[in-house]
Chains A and B, each alone.
Chain A
Amino acid sequence: MSSLPEKIEQYRQVLNDLAAKTKNIKELEEVKQAFLGRKNGHLTLLFEELKQLPPEEKRAAGIALNNFKMEVQKTLAELEEQCLRPRAEKTVSDLTLPGKRIYWGAPHPLTLFQRKIEKIFVSMGFSVEDGPEIETDYYNFEALNFPPYHPARDSWDTLYINDKLLLRTHTSPVQIRVMEKKKPPIRIIIPGKVYRRETADPTHLPMFHQVEGLVVDRGITFAHLKGTLEYFIKALFGEKVKLRFRPSFFPFTEPSAEVDIECLACHGQDSQCRVCGGTGWKEILGAGLVDPQVFKNVNIDPEKYSGWAFGLGIDRTAMLAYEIPEMRYFYENDLRFLRQFNRR
């Protein structure tokens, strides 16, 4: 039987041997267990032995054992740090090199803008509807109170397929389709593609996007139209934007209005401004109370119900919001243009 100090010396040797071999946390755990284990750990057993020693030996041996215990703890702590420290090849020599980035595609700006509009109206309890792009003369014009052969149709230059069918010139026919199916209250918006027989210029193309809104209920007034559209435009362009309602004419609304927002490029300060032509205002939407004849066409009693509607060009409004000078950018699909919009 060797003495306690001798045993300490033996275990010191064991500790040093193990420390040299230990490469990871799992092995370290084994070393820890071997020395500090509650039942059979070397140190645990040595302390048991210490208790048995006669008092005259106890003091010196106790000091030696406590020193060894501290040594063990220190070695284990050092080993742990060693195991956790990354290997040299896992460290970076130049921390300023560019990081690895993952490319996300860009949504089309019109999709992005349409979604913004949808979100504002959906938060006000509107639902999103759609309808066919190939329409009949009835839904595109007649039901919306455009008499046949009336010059009002001239403002809606039409691409025809045959005598009966045409490409819808606005999203308004969906108003009719919804009112035919559904009884009031109605609260909808209708985004979609529309077509006009127009030669291309900076603000006109044969195809563009529109969003239509329609509310039908008892007691709907022009004041409601104003309040809701003001909220919408401020939600879209910011609280500070100035707007005005001007009387206008559309066959399917009465009274009719057009809404202008102040020119975001010059704020009315530049008489030569290319965005607003110096007027300080940009027309962004047409609106009005639903014409009683439109209600009659869908068997809604205009004495009982009233409603408002609006139509807004998504392309032109997005042009204002993002300061895009020409509409064609939306349809050229140049990646250098499109990819700017993944910074949503």
Chain B
Amino acid sequence: MNISYDWLKEYIDLNVPPEELAKYFDQIGLMVESTREVNGQTVYEIETYANRPDTLGHLGIARELATLFGLPLKMPGWQLSELEQSTFDLIDIQVLDSQLCPRYCGLVVRGVTVGPSPEWLKKRIEAIGLRPINNIVDIGNYVCFSLGQPLHTFDLNRLKEARIIVRRARKGEFIRTLEGQLVELTPDMLVIADDSKPVALAGIIGGEESGITEKTTDVFIESANFDPVSIRLTAKKLGLSTDASYRFERGVDINAAPLGARMAASLLGQFGGKVSRGLLDVYPNQRKPRSVPLRLKRISELLGIEIPEEFVTRTLTSLGLKLNEQKPGVWVAEIPSFRVDLEREADLIEEIARFFGYDRIPSEVTPTRSFELPGNQEQDCLWLLKETLLHYGFDEVINFSLADPEKEKIWQTGYQPIELRNPISSRTSILRTSLLPGLVENAVWNYNREANGVHIFETGKVYFWEADGQQGEELHLGLLTSGLKEQKSWAQPARETDYFSLKGAIEDLFFYLGYEAPAFEPEDHSFFESGQSVKILTKNETAGYLGLLKPEIRKAYELEKLAYACELNLADLFDRQPRAFVFAPVPRYPGMVRDLSFLVEAQVNFQAIDVQLKKLNVPYLERFEIYDRFEGGSLPAGQISYSVRFFFRHESRTLLAEEVERAMLNIISHLKSTLKIQLR
């Protein structure tokens, strides 16, 4: 809303110079976004709020300043030079829907000469950022930006039968607006019609065929009040937003309608116009002023400071409220019709705080009666997870949750995607069902910008329709590793990332978070190269996948380099309680180490050996590690050589060599019988 300093002076004798006014606006919550000079007058662009339609005119803003500065508000009188005829003789008004049009006022002005506005009016119109058009249109805008009451002016002679009917549109009716747009109307829309057809979209925009032209001499001024919700629905539906609809949908003062008509008629008198006798005012259900109780005690209870009673009454009275004291410190406030926002005691307390000044309210720390026990394990788990991955050299990324349906299709994530009804673009029209597409795009972006390795992770939600039609959100972890992991330096050669770097990070993730080690089962997946991916299982349930991204996906994103990726469902994981941590005694007796090298058929993977060894439950076996593995060379085809190191220990005495030898024999015979190993 543009506010002109000179215009304000029509209503208030400001004693603050224009350059200092901005800070006072800010102080009472009329935030000045910019200050400009227009034709030598200072114009402030003020941010107004949806609940304050009274600030959409200079009068309302002047009222705020009058309260702040303790100055009186000046109300000009509007002299009318009248005709012989009464308004009723010149026009016939019927309001058929007083729900959607609670008040309709009008006056006829005859003998007007349409022409350019005088300089003073042009200056006003330019100050609010509009272009002067002609004296009649400009007066309409002048009144609108003075009182906040939108007007519409009709050429009386273009209204069929000089009749105005305020009614809902009929099915199949059309109107061509003043902007030349042909609009199809529906029965939920309120129109202003003449005897035959709609001539204006009520409260939004006029029709071309009834508008003012250069030849107009007789004008009908409409100054009405329309239902905010109806105006908003119609304006939204038609994609129209005008100065009028902007005000009506916020709620125009019901008592501004007669004033608006009179003010416009009086001004038209300057262009030869004579005004019909008697204001036409259709207002069948008169509204009573709202009453709101106010307690002095409650003001200090909410603001945390005692506000003098004299300040309270002076401020509210200046804002137009009538205070009726019930008993000391208790009032019933009668709210003026232009303040549609004041409904409850809290609203009045805000007015008092606003004018008292937020800076004069003290600052105190919020007292506490009790503290919650530290909870929310998920936040802690998530941070620990991130720290572990950072330690592994993964950088954290955050991608948009909005995704491109065409690109997501390639992944076949298996989730039913959620589509947006009003997306910003077709490329952001669904919610992501996997974190990996974003990570691949990040890899491409960085490879195109000097990177020779990308190791990244993201934690965030994926979204989908559940089988039962409910919306689902699931916290996931995505990782991607590609290219050089360590750069070549004077001290060491470059090192490429690989499958095991990623798998190791995942294994450690479970370890550091205190969860049981997951199982990795080779299984093909739509994201990965055939035979090059594993399913990650926790407690026999699928938690995610890890593998080498398949060429079709890399091609779709133009990712030339190989990339390993992993996606894990964290929601299920975090639902589980990690194992409680208690320390294990440090060994007091020396351990013994034995190595075993053997050959096994190539189809036996390490996990099979691992499972067999764990199953066996060997006494005193502390742990075992695979320290060598090779195939080919001098080995028979289809055979793999493993070397495993076993660590034995007794917790309360030194082990005997025979005990260890016996255990090793046990291991060997078990592996021979189950996996057909051959010792080397």
Distance between Cα atoms of A334 and B442 in the complex (Å): 7
Given contacts A104-B391, A215-B366, A224-B365, contact A197 B422 (CB under 8 A): yes
Q: Are A332 and B395 in contact (CB under 8 A)?
A: no
Q: Are B421 and A160 in contact (CB under 8 A)?
A: yes
Q: Mark each residue of chain A from 124 to 146: 1 if its CB lies under 8 Å from any CB of chain B, else 0.
A: 11011110111000000000000
Interface segment among B177-185, B218-226, B488-496, B546-554: the answer is B488-496
Q: List 12 A-B contacts (CB under 8 A).
A: A102-B393, A105-B390, A132-B473, A133-B473, A149-B229, A160-B422, A199-B424, A221-B302, A223-B363, A247-B353, A249-B49, A255-B354
Closest A residue to B420 by CB, please name it: A159
Distance between Cα atoms of A159 and B418 in the complex (Å): 12
**CB contact between B370 and one of A185, A221, A249, A251 (< 8 Å): that residue:** A185
Q: Mark each residue of chain B from 392 to 417: 1 if its CB lies under 8 Å from any CB of chain A, else 0.
A: 11111111111000000000000000
Q: Are B363 and A331 in contact (CB under 8 A)?
A: no
Distance between Cα atoms of A338 and B366 in the complex (Å): 36
Given contacts A107-B396, A108-B396, A151-B232, contact A336 B449 (CB under 8 A): yes
Given contacts A107-B390, A159-B420, contact A134 B361 (CB under 8 A): no
Distance between Cα atoms of A308 and B358 in the complex (Å): 15
Residues of A within 8 A of B27 (CB): 246-247
**CB contact between B363 and one of A218, A230, A255, A332 (< 8 Å): that residue:** A230
Q: Are A330 and B347 in contact (CB under 8 A)?
A: no
Q: Are B395 and A334 in contact (CB under 8 A)?
A: no
Q: Are A98 and B456 in contact (CB under 8 A)?
A: no
Q: Does A42 contact B (CB under 8 A)?
A: no
Distance between Cα atoms of A249 and B28 in the complex (Å): 11
Q: Are A150 and B50 in contact (CB under 8 A)?
A: yes
Distance of A19 from chain B, by nearest CB (Å): 33
Q: Are A159 and B423 in contact (CB under 8 A)?
A: yes
Given contacts A106-B390, A161-B420, A338-B395, contact A222 B302 (CB under 8 A): yes
Q: Are B398 and A97 in contact (CB under 8 A)?
A: no
Q: Does A3 contact B (CB under 8 A)?
A: no
Residues of A within 8 A of B378 (CB): 130
Q: Are B397 and A255 in contact (CB under 8 A)?
A: no
Q: Are A149 and B232 in contact (CB under 8 A)?
A: yes
Closest B residue to A196 by CB, please name it: B424
Q: Are A249 and B233 in contact (CB under 8 A)?
A: no
Q: Are A115 and B383 in contact (CB under 8 A)?
A: yes
For chain A, give the interface size range.
35 or more
Q: Does B304 contact A (CB under 8 A)?
A: yes
Distance of A99 from chain B, by nearest CB (Å): 9
Residues of A within 8 A of B50 (CB): 150-152, 154-155, 249
Q: Does B9 contact A (CB under 8 A)?
A: no
On B, residues with C-beta under 8 Å from A are 26-29, 31, 34, 49-52, 228-229, 232-233, 246, 249-250, 301-305, 344-347, 349-350, 353-354, 358-359, 361-372, 374-376, 378-379, 383, 386, 389-402, 418-424, 428, 431, 442, 445-446, 449-451, 454-457, 460-461, 463, 471, 473, 486, 489-492
Distance between Cα atoms of A207 and B461 in the complex (Å): 13
**CB contact between B398 and one of A134, A254, A330 (< 8 Å): that residue:** A330
Residues of A within 8 A of B463 (CB): 133-134
Residues of A within 8 A of B442 (CB): 333
Distance of B574 from chain A, by nearest CB (Å): 12
Distance of A288 from chain B, by nearest CB (Å): 9
Given contacts A160-B422, A255-B353, A292-B344, contact A133 B391 (CB under 8 A): no
Q: Are A335 and B367 in contact (CB under 8 A)?
A: no
Q: Are A111 and B49 in contact (CB under 8 A)?
A: no
Closest A residue to B487 by CB, please name it: A103
Q: Does A110 contact B (CB under 8 A)?
A: yes
Q: Does A100 contact B (CB under 8 A)?
A: yes
Q: Are B383 and A246 in contact (CB under 8 A)?
A: no
Distance of A305 from chain B, by nearest CB (Å): 11
Q: Are A103 and B393 in contact (CB under 8 A)?
A: yes
Number of A-B residue pairs, CB cutoff 8 Å, is 243
Q: Are B301 and A333 in contact (CB under 8 A)?
A: no
Distance between Cα atoms of A219 and B364 in the complex (Å): 12
Distance between Cα atoms of A11 and B345 in the complex (Å): 108
Q: Are A111 and B366 in contact (CB under 8 A)?
A: no
Q: Are B379 and A128 in contact (CB under 8 A)?
A: yes
Distance between Cα atoms of A132 and B474 in the complex (Å): 10
Q: Are A217 and B471 in contact (CB under 8 A)?
A: no
**CB contact between B346 and one of A218, A230, A291 (< 8 Å): that residue:** A291
Distance between Cα atoms of A98 and B395 in the complex (Å): 23
Distance between Cα atoms of A118 and B376 in the complex (Å): 12
**CB contact between A187 and one of B28, B372, B402 (< 8 Å): that residue:** B372
Q: Does A8 contact B (CB under 8 A)?
A: no
Residues of B within 8 A of A218 (CB): 369
Residues of A within 8 A of B364 (CB): 221, 223-224, 226-227
Q: Are A248 and B31 in contact (CB under 8 A)?
A: yes
Q: Are A226 and B346 in contact (CB under 8 A)?
A: no
Distance between Cα atoms of A277 and B368 in the complex (Å): 40
Residues of A within 8 A of B491 (CB): 97, 100
Residues of B within 8 A of A18 (CB): none
Q: Are A249 and B361 in contact (CB under 8 A)?
A: no
Q: Are B350 and A256 in contact (CB under 8 A)?
A: yes
Residues of A within 8 A of B489 (CB): 98, 100
Q: Are A224 and B304 in contact (CB under 8 A)?
A: yes
Q: Are A335 and B49 in contact (CB under 8 A)?
A: no
Distance between Cα atoms of A332 and B392 in the complex (Å): 22
Distance between Cα atoms of A302 and B345 in the complex (Å): 11
Residues of B within 8 A of A332 (CB): 445
Q: Are A127 and B376 in contact (CB under 8 A)?
A: yes
Q: Does A45 contact B (CB under 8 A)?
A: no
Residues of B within 8 A of A149 (CB): 228-229, 232-233
Q: Are B420 and A226 in contact (CB under 8 A)?
A: no
User: A residues 235-268 with Cβ under 8 Å of B?
Assistant: 244-249, 251, 254-258
Q: Are A335 and B395 in contact (CB under 8 A)?
A: yes
Q: Are B471 and A248 in contact (CB under 8 A)?
A: no
Distance of B342 from chain A, by nearest CB (Å): 11
Closest A residue to B354 by CB, please name it: A247
Given contacts A162-B421, A219-B301, contact A151 B249 (CB under 8 A): yes
Q: Which 6 A-B pairs have the closest CB atoms?
A: A247-B29, A223-B304, A221-B304, A249-B49, A255-B350, A227-B363
**CB contact between B399 and one of A187, A228, A333 (< 8 Å): that residue:** A333
Residues of B within 8 A of A148 (CB): 229
Distance between Cα atoms of A185 and B372 in the complex (Å): 9
Q: Are A335 and B454 in contact (CB under 8 A)?
A: yes
Closest A residue to B369 by CB, please name it: A185
Residues of B within 8 A of A97 (CB): 490-491
Distance between Cα atoms of A258 and B354 in the complex (Å): 12
User: A residues 269-309 with Cβ under 8 Å of B?
Assistant: 277, 289, 291-293, 302, 306, 308
Distance between Cα atoms of A300 and B402 in the complex (Å): 36
Q: Which residue, of B350, B376, B451, B489, has the highest number of chain A Cβ atoms within 10 A?
A: B350
Distance of A11 from chain B, by nearest CB (Å): 37
Distance between Cα atoms of A274 and B488 in the complex (Å): 42
User: A residues 199-240 with Cβ under 8 Å of B?
Assistant: 199, 205-207, 215, 217-228, 230-231
Given contacts A105-B395, A224-B367, A249-B50, contact A127 B372 (CB under 8 A): yes
Q: Does A64 contact B (CB under 8 A)?
A: no
Q: Are B303 and A248 in contact (CB under 8 A)?
A: no
Residues of A within 8 A of B361 (CB): 222-223, 226, 245
Distance of A169 from chain B, by nearest CB (Å): 13
Q: Are A159 and B396 in contact (CB under 8 A)?
A: no
Distance between Cα atoms of A312 and B445 in the complex (Å): 30
New A-B contacts (6) at CB < 8 Å, excluding given A105-B393, A219-B301, A224-B366: A100-B491, A185-B368, A227-B362, A227-B366, A230-B363, A256-B350
User: A residues 157-175 with Cβ under 8 Å of B?
Assistant: 159-162, 165, 167
Q: Does A339 contact B (CB under 8 A)?
A: yes
**CB contact between B366 and one of A220, A293, A331, A333 (< 8 Å): that residue:** A220
Given contacts A97-B490, A160-B421, contact A151 B250 (CB under 8 A): yes
Distance between Cα atoms of A112 and B115 in the complex (Å): 64
